[in-house]
């Protein structure tokens, strides 16, 4: 579904991504793993067109999107949830969801606020609450729910468990697995290996903007040497 090949990206003169290649199949959850500063967020921003790739291809459903503007990439069916939560603090939960609403492609069951509340029951309990008066975990759920209202077929989730209390992390994992059961494809980034192992099928390990290792999540959990080399601090 998504095929990234030889992706390079720069911030000004700084060369950050050095030829990242990865694939996400239909219905698969792939996790980008790597230490702080490895290039996980830049990979996602580059796929999304927010940091335009300086070289490489980003193929989605057989169409090359590299160099296209972000709104066009979103319209093609890729939803992006950045590391920093992006909700409208003055708007209520239901208003935030209304802002995210986009028509669903043919043949797809469209997301509705009710479906989002089934996925994240806590949002249904506070639908009239302004976003600014929610906890960090609730805001993270709202950010994901709002992105789902755009009916993406591929979701990019940048460190969804970051900074969340353990009980909320567990709810987040449950929600991500529910999305997988519905057939959504997901590329997420994580530093929390336990969380990654709970949800992902495959892992892509990156270091200094390069893809170093790809393995099934199970193989990675059994490979202490690789984990120590690319993940431990």
What is the contact surface with ligand ADP in residues (CB under 6 A)?
11, 14, 16, 34, 36-42
For the chain, what is the total number of helices (H) and then of strands (E)? 10, 10
Q: Which is nearer to ligand ADP, 37 or 183 (CB)?
A: 37
CB 16 → ligand ADP: shortest distance, Å?
A: 4
Residue 183: name its binding partner from ligand ADP, Mg ion, none (Cβ under 5 to 8 Å by kind): none
Residue 34 touches which member of Mg ion, ligand ADP, none, C-beta under 5-8 Å by kind:
ligand ADP
Nearer to ligand ADP, 28 or 190 (CB): 190
Q: Is residue 42 within the footprint of Mg ion (CB under 5 A)?
A: no
Q: Which does 37 bind (CB under 5 to 8 A by kind): ligand ADP, Mg ion, none?
A: ligand ADP
- Site for Mg ion (CB under 5 A): how many residues? 2
User: Strands 202-207 and 210-216: what pairing?
Assistant: antiparallel
Nearer to Mg ion, 167 or 233 (CB): 233
3-state DSSP of 91-159: CEHHHHHHHHCCCCCCCCCCCCHHHHHHHCHHHHHCCCCEHHHCCHHHHHHHHHHHHHCCCCCEEEEEC
Segment near Mg ion (CB under 5 A); pick from 40-48, 62-70, 177-185, 197-205: 40-48
Task: Give the separation between CA 175 and CA 187, rounded to whole angstroms.
Answer: 15
Q: Which residue is nearest to Mg ion (CB)?
A: 41
- Which SS3 state, helix, strand or coil, does residue 11 take? strand
Distances (CA, A) of 221 to 1, 157, 215: 26, 21, 10
* Residue tagged 């296209």 (tokens): 68
Binding site for Mg ion (CB under 5 A): 40-41
């Amino acid at each position: 579904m998504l095929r990234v090949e030889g992706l390079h990206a720069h911030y000004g003169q700084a060369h950050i991504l050095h030829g990242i290649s990865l694939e996400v199949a239909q219905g698969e959850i792939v996790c980008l793993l790597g230490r702080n500063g490895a290039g996980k967020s830049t990979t996602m921003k580059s796929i999304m067109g927010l940091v335009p790739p300086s070289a490489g291809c980003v193929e989605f459903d057989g169409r090359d999107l590299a160099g296209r503007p972000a709104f066009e990439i979103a319209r093609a069916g890729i939803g992006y949830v950045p590391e920093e939560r992006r909700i409208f603090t003055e708007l209520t939960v239901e208003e935030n969801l209304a802002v995210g609403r986009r028509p669903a492609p043919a043949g797809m069951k469209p997301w509705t606020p009710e479906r989002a509340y089934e996925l994240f029951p806590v949002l249904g309990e506070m639908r009239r609450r302004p976003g600014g008066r929610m906890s960090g975990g609730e805001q993270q759920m709202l950010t994901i729910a709002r992105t789902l209202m755009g009916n993406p077929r591929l979701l990019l989730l940048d460190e969804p468990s970051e900074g969340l209390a353990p009980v909320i992390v567990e709810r987040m994992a449950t929600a991500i697995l529910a999305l997988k059961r519905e057939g959504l494809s997901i590329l997420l980034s994580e530093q929390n290996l336990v969380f990654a192992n709970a949800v992902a099928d495959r892992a892509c390990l990156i270091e200094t903007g390069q893809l170093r290792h790809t393995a099934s999540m199970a193989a990675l959990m059994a490979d202490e040497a690789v984990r120590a080399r690319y993940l431990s601090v």
